Amino acid sequence: MFQRFRHITALAAAIAAVQLLTAATGKEFFLTQLTMAGYYTLVIIGLCLLMGYAGQISLGHAGFFAIGGYTSAVLTTVDLSAWKAAPAISLLAKSGILTGRADLYGGQILTVHPWAAFLCALCITIVVAFLIGVPVLKLKGHYLAMATLGFGTIIYSVVLATSRFGAADGISSVPAFPLLPGLAVTGGSSQRVANYYFAWLLVTVGMLLLINLIHSRVGRALRSIHGAEDAAGAMGVDAARYKLNTFILSAVYAAVAGVFLTHYNGGIGPSEASIMKSVRYVAIVAVGGMGSLWGTLIMSAVLNFLSLRGYFGTFDDAVFGSILIAVMLFSPEGVLKLDIRSLVGRWIRTDRKAGA
């Protein structure tokens, strides 16, 4: 009975989340928050792969999000018009890597094309993730968490203290991302519905890739590493390589979300690299279930939407902290796997002991 109730609860939560996402497409004041929630969800499902299947905790994923967003923002807002006569700049302009666009004052500037900036952001993210992952992933448990926390702190300090990154103000005037003729990633009201569908299409593609991955030989290797790394190594599984590749893939998911959300919002600020952002990502993975991509997807969509709508007010970070504590106490495998029977039994035993 309780097992059936648990499955019905999970199904009801999934249906409610889907209805929330699809019904809101006709209400423009929901679309912005739902679109942003989609990009944040892309970060979180990538982190779910790293934590739930490879067993590696990361408190620095906001740093990878910021690397993607800030790289694209800097490259697409820098003005190279003063050097357009230089042979290298001229060659890049002819090849389409550089493009001209109007600035806020109606003048023409020469900047990096958003697609070229996107590729640069991914390359930089892969290099940074590799350089960080090789030494850091040799650590385990809270040592790994502290190391990734240190990485996130470094990225936050760099973007906050560097004038080229806008310091505390961040970078603004980031152009829309051209996807197809007539369709661009922008927060403008004229394309809200199209951008909403694009954000969740990106999440869908990301989910399909991860689902195929976890049901492949790679997924079985990751689960064996999570369960018993030494035993997996004894069976011939290259644990170090699998953990590093998973870490890089998870970082790429965060960078892709950072790029597109930056262009959608028209800018990025240092708050996107803050430690609380990383803690929030980890909290949502824990709430959805570290080994459940679907649970993480649903809870990310719901919690990010409620947070972006401002329902938690000034207690936003406190709410996520409280949720994380409650989940760890009562349902470590996620709220969708909450065992009502054991929870009620625990309360009854506690009451009996108190009465005795």
How high is the pLDDT of residue 104? 66
Whether 319 has a pLDDT exceeding 90, the answer reads no
Whether 14 has a pLDDT exceeding 60, the answer reads no
129 with 64: CB under 8 angstroms? yes
Q: Judging by DSSP bridges, how do beta strands 267-268 and 108-112 pair with one another?
A: unpaired
Domain of 276, in residue numbers? 2-355
pLDDT band at 17 (very low <50, low <70, confident <90, very high): low
Task: Give me the CATH number covering residue 312.
Answer: 1.10.3470
pLDDT band at 337 (very low <50, low <70, confident <90, very high): low
**H, E, C per residue of the chain:** CHHHHHHHHHHHHHHHHHHHHHHHHHCHHHHHHHHHHHHHHHHHHHHHHHHHHCCCCCCCHHHHHHHHHHHHHHHHHCCCHHHCCCHHHHHHHHHCCEEEEECCCCCEEEEECHHHHHHHHHHHHHHHHHHHHHHHCCCCHHHHHHHHHHHHHHHHHHHHHCHHHCHHHCEECCCCEEEECCEEECCCHHHHHHHHHHHHHHHHHHHHHHHHHHCCHHHHHHHHHHHCHHHHHHCCCCHHHHHHHHHHHHHHHHHHHHHHHHHHHCEECHHHHCHHHHHHHHHHHHHHCCCCHHHHHHHHHHHHHHHHCCCCHHHHHHHHHHHHHHHHHHCCCCHHHCCHHHHHHHHHHHHHHHHC
Question: What is the rounded average pLDDT of the residues 294-305?
Answer: 89
Whether 11 has a pLDDT exceeding 50, the answer reads no
pLDDT band at 257 (very low <50, low <70, confident <90, very high): very high
Residue-wise pLDDT tens digits, 120-149: 999 999 999 999 999 998 888 888 889 999
pLDDT band at 84 (very low <50, low <70, confident <90, very high): confident
Question: What is the rounded average pLDDT of the residues 214-243?
Answer: 86
Whether 102 has a pLDDT exceeding 80, the answer reads no
Report the share of the chain in percent with pLDDT over 70.
Answer: 82
Give the tokens for residue 8: 């019905």
Residue-wise pLDDT tens digits, 112-125: 889 999 999 999 99
Give the tokens for residue 341: 């029977």
- Amino acid at site 67: I
Residue-wise pLDDT tens digits, 170-202: 898 888 888 766 677 776 666 778 888 899 999
How high is the pLDDT of residue 339? 56
Give me the phi and psi of 73, to 5 degrees please.
Answer: -65, -45
Give the tokens for residue 197: 């569908």
Give the tokens for residue 151: 């990485």
Residue-wise pLDDT tens digits, 42-83: 999 999 999 989 888 899 999 999 999 999 999 999 888 878
Whether 316 has a pLDDT exceeding 90, the answer reads no
- Which of 28-42, 111-125, 133-147, 328-342 comes out lowest in average pLDDT? 328-342
Determine if residue 130 is left, alpha or beta; phi over 0 gives left, psi from -120 to 50 gives alpha, anything else beta: alpha
CA angle in degrees (0–180, nearest 5) for 157-319-30: 90
241 with 233: CB under 8 angstroms? no
Which of 72, 35, 93, 33 shows the shortest CA–CA distance to 174?
Answer: 72
356, burial (CB in 10 Å: exposed 0-12, middle 13-18, buried 19+) = exposed
The whole-chain average pLDDT of the chain stands at: 82
Cα gap 175→102, rounded to integer Å:
10
Report the share of the chain in percent with pLDDT over 90.
Answer: 36
How many domains is the chain partitioned into structurally?
A: 1
Cα gap 345→228, rounded to integer Å:
31
Most trustworthy range by pLDDT among 4-18, 51-65, 286-300: 51-65
